[in-house]
A and B are shown apart, each in its own frame.
Chain A
Amino acid sequence: MADTRNDWEPKILAFLCTWCSYAGADLAGVSRLQYPPNVRVIKVPCSARVKPLYLIRALMEGWDGVLVSGCHPGDCHYIAGNYAARRRFTLLKEFVEYFGLEPGRLNFSWVSASEGGKYADVIKTVVDRVRELGPARRMVKEYAEPEKV
């Protein structure tokens, strides 16, 4: 696919809650739904498991966009993890944009285990958004070789 340096493709890191969005991604797969292959997934036990520090570090490592996806409000396996996460990420998103990071680098969604189609749509939306923004520049740190992503 990408065979010249100008063919930049966005790299998206997604933190998916194992009880819902991860299963939703699975369903998208077994349903053979098409979505952009730009996303790499880290499975987490709950959206509330994701520390802001993880997202900041992902930006520093040069991911062009980051996604956190959990169970719909009210459906968290741990009752209220996603409610706590929602408050945290509502503030964080606004705060990183206040710092000057482009809106669209950090993304959040609710995708249930039965929403394979929604998962594919979310990934399409995020990839389009980030493609529009171009490669990550702000916050990206040059790490010494072994740590480079």
Chain B
Amino acid sequence: MAVEDEIRAKARELLASGKAEVVVGFVAGTVPLTARPALIKEAADADRLVWNRCCTPGLARYVLDYIRDRRKRRDFDAAKAKKVAVVAKPCDARALVTYIQENQFAPGDLFVVGVHCAPMVDRRKVFEEVGAYRLEEARVDGDAIVITTTDGGEERLPLGDYVDASCAVCARLEPPLADVTYGEAVAPPADADPYARVREHEARGSDERWAWLEEELGRCIRCYACRQVCPACYCEECFAEQRNPAWIGPATAEEDLVAFHLVRVFHTAGRCVECGECERACPMNIQLRVLSEKLVKDVAEKFGYVAGEDAEVSPPLATYKPDDPNEDFM
């Protein structure tokens, strides 16, 4: 059975049996090469669910928001609450693990329909290649993206050239949390280095690093899309919007931009699950993962920790070892 059919069958079963009250998954998007997150609540709607190489958005935040909202309802009865089911790629499942570590909900609140990952398509690269307005329809066929253009022509693009930058180097193909798992994992090339851009930035001198940053972050329009999509950014009140005290200004002065991103990304330390949503969401094409990946790398190197692997262990900044690195301290 195709993964999509397996997901639909499982969703139907979960909803019809009353085991789950909702299935968080994807339905077809309205723009070519997109899929849209959706909450499916009726067994009859299960066939609207899709699974393909365009299911890039993270679903963990939808799960968290659903559970938080449900808890606020006046008639909510925790003892009778049914499960929230979710279709989870490995990065979604990792984010769910961090939520459990951070006591946002219990594992029993979830039914995780895990999916082994195959790299997703970066639709922006395809749009750029074909021209967004020439694109009538697109589908993935084996190793090719098949494009139908508005003038009726058909083009085939090699999928490998249009893989999302985060997926292209992601070696975490197994959802760390799943009640069932479907599909087959597709491993990235053996020489893929998830930290390549970090190493490149580290190799720059201090002045060059600052210049690069001014250039990249200088384009930020403070739309907060990166924060909104980030599974690790779920504070009800963000420091960036606090006005008493006002830590940083609300506009796009360079120092405020730098401070916003410095602190935003720092808050993901030991919590970033490398989903790449921030970079995909940014309308200004800012290379945000050059920043977040640095902390992923440092947390791994200094504290031997990888986010979202095991709900039983403490997050790295909530614990310590007496023999942690000490060389930065006089």
Residues of chain A touching chain B, judged by Cβ–Cβ distance below 8 Å, are: 52-53, 56-57, 60, 73-74, 80, 83-84, 86-103, 107-110, 122, 125, 138-141
Contacts and interface: CB of A to CB of B under 8 A. Distances in A.
Nearest to B205: A100
Interface of B: 201-202, 206-213, 239, 247-249, 253, 255-256, 258-259, 262-263, 265-266, 269, 294-295, 298-299, 302-303, 316-318, 320-322, 324-326, 328-330
B329 A87 contact: no
Nearest to B320: A83
Contacts of B208: 100
Nearest to B201: A98
A51 to B, nearest CB: 9
B263 A56 contact: yes
A58 to B, nearest CB: 11
A88 B294 contact: no
A84 B320 contact: yes
Contacts of A87: 302-303, 316-317, 320, 324
A92 B265 CA distance: 11
A97 B328 contact: no
A95 B320 contact: no
Contact of B209 (A60, A94, A99): A99
Nearest to B198: A98
Given A86-B324, A87-B303, A95 B295 contact: yes
B298 A110 contact: no
B199 to A, nearest CB: 11
Given A94-B298, A141-B255, A53 B247 contact: yes
Contacts of A103: 206
B320 A93 contact: no
6 contacts: A89-B328, A90-B302, A91-B298, A95-B295, A96-B262, A101-B206
Contact of A108 (B239, B266, B298, B328): B328
A97 to B, nearest CB: 7
4 tightest CB-CB pairs across the interface, nearest first?
A100-B210, A83-B320, A100-B209, A109-B330
Given A83-B322, A87-B317, A122-B330, A138 B201 contact: no
Given A56-B263, A74-B322, A97 B206 contact: yes
Nearest to B327: A90
Contacts of A100: 206-213
A57 B249 CA distance: 11
Contact of A99 (B262, B269, B318, B329): B262
A110 B328 contact: no
B320 A107 contact: no
A138 B210 contact: yes
B259 A139 contact: yes
Contacts of B326: 73, 86
A76 to B, nearest CB: 10
Nearest to A108: B329
Given A83-B321, A100-B212, 7 more contacts: A74-B322, A88-B317, A95-B298, A100-B208, A107-B330, A108-B330, A140-B255
